[in-house]
Structure 1
């Protein structure tokens, strides 16, 4: 699997306002090790870092979220080796795995931070560095030249839409090198008509589901391993996103009365999902499955559609039937011309505010943004880069097209960054009961309302 802890998770997605609102409560409660830090970092490469601001740095330390044998690690190691040859700057890298930001957190307020550079999924970088005031502002890196690309700077090759996702109060706390989105996946070899004309609206989507269910003798065409709460949550969240627009889910999560969950539009979004449940559109056993049983069966041709992240081809490829052609389309708009926001999360570089060799680390960030280096994330790691001029792997071409052509927003309105405990303890258990058919939309909304009100009362 080529994405961090995706079970699991893709989430991000709130505005800076939502982050500021929640940082003092939900994030603060989960970051006791750095409780004395301020709520939002605003440093710059020229001031807040340690001795690493010197341009003459000859080395730096790097902690990575990847394991040594993963494709991304191989791409990064090759870039590190070439960087050292080209610049003379030595890089000491440690392949720490997915909990890299959590491992680094206890050191961030000490006199010696052991890593000058880390990479992480956005929500972990935000929670452990930015929200605790320990992230160096990387805005100056955007002005650095991209080696080998005349006239290009980091800021000119990375779309502002992605940089905005990792900027809070004007402070850039992560420079992304990989972007992740969710899509509805299918096998074009079996469904050429879908490839020729993918459903763009909810009506077209549900009509397609009815057709496919009939063709399958009444078997549900939607694959879902509902024992992974995040995967079940995608269906509810995307229905809310398409019905109410970006920010609505986050606004409901932070409504201390919980009343927004009973808004008519929210209930309408829930009714859309219940329509799928009652129609039997989910494959048999989805609510009693053990991941990854259902998605493996999907890859083998036992169902038609799977709502999941852009790691799907890599994760399910070993189980795909012969001739499987990965194609995808975004979660459909509710009406023609309706919301088509692409939910995006990122993986990228961050620098601790107390890094001792920040200048050298910044130089490597700029170096890796070169097309000659960054292309490996596509060609070797089989993922999407933020650079629009680097083609995605063929299996992800539809996802890249959707991300490049539409408005993007932080995944799940950023709730897993800023209200992670609410999301885990209140929303997910209730949503799983809703998706498996145990709660009606009105009962689900009522329990969300009371559970959210109780949660924020206790968190105050």
Structure 2
């Protein structure tokens, strides 16, 4: 155990444990940080009401930049409120191995993970936060969390929940869209962003005529084009039914054939990288980063992943995946991913836990998280990192949050087969009818 004095008043005690956790394919030790203080340095109205302990199980490893921000916020919170102790277990990506047992035992106050896990699978474990969101807070200068938060993100959490309520606080969001090289668009004489599938095909043709490869794909995100076209055309629930229908009859729907033929047409007309069938992640996005292709369909995190290639001067543009004619889902329906901080129902002091989350996810710590991690901010007043700014119009215009891949990956047994077939289809190795037949057989277990 070691104790570090900060400004002669703040003590941080860090204790290592023997629990292993994985981050980025490497084994790293989980650890526990206990944050306490000897005396306050800041006087804030209402501080006398803040006392107690918070047990936070974090999805981050202690050495990651997100953890540095969280530790700084915890340190300030306990400095402001010396009767508060925050214990943080840095569990890394192995959080899910133990979180259910810990929640069932009432041993967790706050925990975090991706929205598809927290809200889709653990929503019933979470404290309902609508009243906390709406109440004025001295930490926000008398404003409520609703007043400062990005409403698109709050609404996204509610849309994911089965009961339509808020059971978590979003942070570090990302959005799936088409990211493109504006300079290549200009070189091909393209002045606007496509809103429909027909317009997108026109853009692809102009790029081809200018000697530019329109789209690059790789196995990392190859599941998206077919899934998002069909999802826009028929609705995300159709995709969910498609991959779970053991009879295979859903694959006979004309919309499936239309979608598969649209994917085949992209290859047949020369709009897709010649390497699409063999590209392994991150080869596809790297082709765009190196100027060898114009567009890539992916989450906004890609802009960080290729930053070493592009630098900060790359002229990125972004648009929502276009809708085909007759679509039931508009381009304002998009997939916004995010991490969620959930307060457990068994938390003894939900207000105290929410107050800490408020400090962490707004103001200077929202800015710090955004800058250090190149993350989309949580609040409306926090500036976006320049590298992510191209995604802002798409996120701001989103009115409905749809599950990643519009649920095409909701059958884990089928997804690997679908992924392989989608890459063959978009890579020109099979035709639309063969793609449909192979996927149908796989869903039926043949």
TM-score (norm 1): 0.75
Instruction: Give the structure, 1 or 2, with the largest relative contact order (CA under 8 Å, sep 6 or more).
Output: 1
* Matched residue SS, 1:451: helix
Taking a change above 3 Å as real, the CA distance of residues 416 and 260 of structure 1, as seen in their structure-2 partners, is closer
The CA distance in 1 between the partners of 2:274 and 2:423, in whole Å, is 16
Aligned match for 1:161, one of 155, 158, 162: 155
Instruction: Report whether the alignment pairs 1:187 with 2:177.
Output: no
Report the equivalent of 2:114.
Answer: 121
Report the equivalent of 2:358.
Answer: 366
Contact between 2:61 and 2:91, CA under 8 Å: does it hold in 1? yes
Contact between 2:272 and 2:427, CA under 8 Å: does it hold in 1? no
Aligned match for 1:331, one of 299, 316, 321: 321
Q: Which has the larger radius of gyration?
A: 2
Aligned match for 1:344, one of 318, 336, 339: 336
1:51-450 maps to which residues of 2 (within 5 A)?
57-88=51-82, 89-110=84-105, 113=107, 115-126=108-119, 129-130=122-123, 133-158=124-149, 159=151, 160-192=154-186, 196-216=191-211, 220-226=213-219, 228=220, 231-320=221-310, 323-335=313-325, 339-340=330-331, 341-355=333-347, 358-412=350-404, 415=407, 419-425=410-416, 427-450=418-441
Contact between 2:277 and 2:424, CA under 8 Å: does it hold in 1? no
Contact between 1:65 and 1:119, CA under 8 Å: does it hold in 2? yes
Contact between 2:190 and 2:206, CA under 8 Å: does it hold in 1? no
Shift of 1:314: 0.8
Shift of 1:331: 1.3
| CA deviations over 1:217-249 (Å, ceiling 9, x no partner) | xx63312222x3xx0001111111232244332
The CA distance in 2 between the partners of 1:420 and 1:5, in whole Å, is 25
Shift of 1:317: 0.5
The answer to which structure has the higher helix fraction is 1
* Matched residue SS, 2:394: helix
The CA distance in 2 between the partners of 1:119 and 1:69, in whole Å, is 17
Shift of 1:339: 1.8
Contact between 2:276 and 2:426, CA under 8 Å: does it hold in 1? no
Shift of 1:176: 0.7
The CA distance in 1 between the partners of 2:366 and 2:424, in whole Å, is 42
| CA deviations over 1:270-304 (Å, ceiling 9, x no partner) | 22111112223221222212322332232122221
Deviation larger for 289-298 or 198-207: 289-298
The CA distance in 1 between the partners of 2:247 and 2:173, in whole Å, is 34
The CA distance in 2 between the partners of 1:190 and 1:84, in whole Å, is 51
Q: Which runs of 5+ in 2 are unaligned?
A: 1-21, 26-48
Contact between 1:65 and 1:100, CA under 8 Å: does it hold in 2? yes
Shift of 1:174: 2.2
Contact between 2:231 and 2:238, CA under 8 Å: does it hold in 1? yes
Taking a change above 3 Å as real, the CA distance of residues 60 and 423 of structure 1, as seen in their structure-2 partners, is farther
The CA distance in 2 between the partners of 1:94 and 1:56, in whole Å, is 22
What's the RMSD between the two structures over aligned residues?
3.2
Shift of 1:186: 2.2
Taking a change above 3 Å as real, the CA distance of residues 196 and 248 of structure 1, as seen in their structure-2 partners, is same
Taking a change above 3 Å as real, the CA distance of residues 293 and 398 of structure 1, as seen in their structure-2 partners, is closer
Contact between 1:416 and 1:423, CA under 8 Å: does it hold in 2? no
The answer to which structure has the higher strand fraction is 2
Taking a change above 3 Å as real, the CA distance of residues 254 and 370 of structure 1, as seen in their structure-2 partners, is same
* Matched residue SS, 1:271: helix
